[in-house]
Amino acid sequence: MLNVMRRFAQSWLLKGVLALLALTFISFYAVIDRNQQNASGQVASVNGTKITEREFEESYERLLQFYRQVYQDRLTDEVLKQLNLKEAALESLIVRAVELQAAREAGLSVADPELLSSIQARPEFQIGGQFDSRVYFDVLRNNRLTPQEFERSQHDALLLAKWQTLIEQSALVTEPEARSAFRDLHEKADLAYLSFPAKDYEGKVQVNREKVERYYRAFPEEFRQPEQVRVEYLFWDPRSFERAITVTPLQVEDYYESHEKEFRIPEAVQARHILLRVPEGADAKKEEEARVRARMVGEQLKKGSDFAALARKYSEDPSSSRGGDLGKLRRGESVPEFEKAAFSLKSGQISEPVRTQFGFHVIQVLSKEPEKTRRLEDVREEIVRTLRLEKSRQRAESEAAKVKQSFASADKKRSFQDLSKDVSAEYKVTAWFFRGKAIAGIPSWQAVATAALNLKGGEVSAPVPAPEGIYLLRVLERKESRIPPFEEVQRDVEKALVRKEAREQTAQEAREVSAKILAGADVQTAAKGRNAHLEKLEAMSRGEFLRKFPALRGNLGDVRRVFGAKLGSPVQVEGADGTQLFVVLSRQTPDEKDYQKGRAEIYARLTEQRRQTIPQVYLSRLLEKAKILRTPGAV
């Protein structure tokens, strides 16, 4: 491969190297100069393939650079600790190794011409749109990369892309699957619903101390208290600095010029369309049939037929009910083929059939709006507010950082409360809290809780940035995670036992009602005299069912049991709040005509769902089977 590159090097002239190319390249392939010993060290192996110390350090450095760009000066040691980048870097290398091995085992490969073509297509190696071999070697040299290293990396990237494509192509949907999904989506059922709330049964539960103690001994972890802390903190609200901030006209103009893209309003078209769908994986005959139908529609439109009427009649898109109206579309809001066609049309013009992943579109542009930039006069106040807020936040961050630094030296023993008198910060003390519990008065409590629980006794946190301002924390008291003695939690144990036995009573009551229904009694008669609530649910789809019973979203198997049950056969669902009984009284199933009309859409939806989930499923299986060995202490 390198020899091929050298032959090309003899036939092109050097036209100059743009400095930006090297900078762009660095952002993708940051490599640190390391000695040979580091390169040979091993941090892990995957099915016998080594992951070297050098590979790990390069992966870590790329992640670190990425987060430096994201967090900038807010990337503190504490944030780095939370991100755990070293573990993330190693995991990414393990995943890469597993996928590369799978790609090779699947028979995938990258030919030299493919590799050469991909390298030549990279803008950082081009001058005037043409590949230049001298630029190629210069950029690699500037980034401390050998051609062999880069070409191997590019080869692996192409191989992984092929593997990804292969997996996505396996996202096939069969006809029975499509029919089943369509039925599940559109089927409606009339249901009788009986609820047995556990709280209605708690008054009937009798417990004594012996039973309560026995329950405590059987399930001690149920009463474990998590680690808790109580902290004092200083809070800087950037708004408190705004009055002292001055924004000059020159600063506004500089911001406007350097952020011009923010004030651009993209080109837009007002469009409508008629879509003739082509099913995923359709043969040439079906594709041609759709194309012919689209041409026929286009010809009718050009002869003066009403667009909205034809859209309602022929279009297989949700917009058909609106006469095909798509409203205003801006660049980047539609698939590339559609966008290219729509933005090339003149106002009032009707397109030839346009093929996209969905089928054939006949498009009409009603009006066009050119790209424009908002005038400085129109956005001046907006920029002033932005700059004032930015400067205010910078002052708050600077003051918090100075206070943090002061605790590293002379002010170590000074109280937060005393210190708050000298700075523009508010002093407060929290109640006891633990991970996952909201902290009163702190909107960004998750970030504050994470920082606080990672502190040692008496340690002052790094400034914790949040949308509402900056926090500086110090732990006042800490309680380690523990299982309290029985006497301390006796009331809690008693309540838990009562709830448990009440739930068991609801389940037994529901079973007895189910037996009567199966014996021939109607639902109302079977539930008579029971502590249950009866409700009739009419023409309910699965989606509507989940909206009414959101707790079942975590167990879709119960939803399938309910809708798949025989007519009149009760389905019992037990939960934390009691028991529910569902009986399907009747169902309305979509017919063949409905299915054929929605067939293309359901195929497209299922295929896209599988494309999203299949790669992760494959990866999980590969990782389960892989023999992964990590070198102790290497990371």
Model confidence pLDDT, tens digit, residues 509-547: 999 999 999 999 999 999 999 989 999 999 999 989 999
107: left (phi over 0), alpha (psi -120 to 50) or beta: left
Grade residue 11 by pLDDT with cuts at 50, 70 and 90: very low
The Cα 316–Cα 597 span in angstroms is: 8
3-class DSSP state of 374:
coil
DSSP secondary-structure letter at 462?
A: P
Q: Can you give the pLDDT at residue 318? A: 87
Domain spanning 228-255+377-479, CATH architecture: Roll (3.10)
Q: Can you give the pLDDT at residue 519? A: 95
Q: Can you give the pLDDT at residue 169? A: 74
The Cα 126–Cα 363 span in angstroms is: 37
Q: Are 363 and 335 in contact (CB under 8 A)?
A: no
Model confidence pLDDT, tens digit, residues 455-480: 887 788 989 999 899 999 999 999 99
What is the dihedral angle through the alpha carbons of 158, 159, 160, 164, rounded to the nearest 10 degrees? 100
Asked if the model's pLDDT at residue 142 lies above 90, the reply is no
Q: Can you give the pLDDT at residue 17? A: 28
- Rg of the chain over Cα atoms, rounded to whole angstroms, equals 33
The Cα 362–Cα 298 span in angstroms is: 6
Domain residue ranges of the chain, discontinuous segments joined by +: 2-169, 188-223+488-588, 228-255+377-479, 267-370
DSSP helix, strand, coil percent of the chain (3-state; round to 5): 55, 20, 25
State pTM to two decimals.
0.52
Q: Are 228 and 434 in contact (CB under 8 A)?
A: yes
End-to-end CA distance of the chain: 34
Q: Are 499 and 202 in contact (CB under 8 A)?
A: yes
Domains 2-169 and 267-370 share a fold: no
The Cα 358–Cα 341 span in angstroms is: 15
Domain 2-169: give its CATH code: 1.10.4030.10
Asked if the model's pLDDT at residue 24 lies above 70, the reply is no
Asked if the model's pLDDT at residue 32 lies above 50, the reply is no
Model confidence pLDDT, tens digit, residues 548-560: 999 888 788 899 9
Model confidence pLDDT, tens digit, residues 192-249: 999 999 999 999 999 999 999 999 999 999 999 999 999 999 999 999 998 889 999 9
Structure tokens at 537: 């649910």
Could you tell me which residues come within 8 angstroms of residue 53 by beta carbon, excluding any fewer than 6 positions away?
A: 38, 39, 40, 41, 42, 43, 634
- Determine the topology of domain 267-370 in CATH: Chitinase A; domain 3 (3.10.50)
DSSP secondary-structure letter at 111?
A: -
3-class DSSP state of 475:
strand
Model confidence pLDDT, tens digit, residues 272-307: 999 999 877 677 788 888 999 999 999 999 999 999
Q: Can you give the pLDDT at residue 382? A: 92
Q: Can you give the pLDDT at residue 332? A: 79
Of 273-287, 351-365, 605-619, give the range with the top mean pLDDT: 351-365
What percent of the chain lies above the pLDDT cut of 70?
92
Q: CA 131, 137, 143: angle at the middle one, nearest 5?
A: 115
Q: How would you label 267-298 residue by residue, b for 16+ Cβ within 10 Å and e otherwise?
A: ebbbbbbbbbbbbbebeeeeeeebbebbeebb
Model confidence pLDDT, tens digit, residues 403-445: 888 876 655 667 788 888 888 899 999 999 998 889 999 998 9
In 72-111, alpha helices (H): 77-83, 85-105
3-class SS letters over 224-254: CECCEEEEEEEEECHHHHHHHCCCCHHHHHH
Q: Are 57 and 30 in contact (CB under 8 A)?
A: no
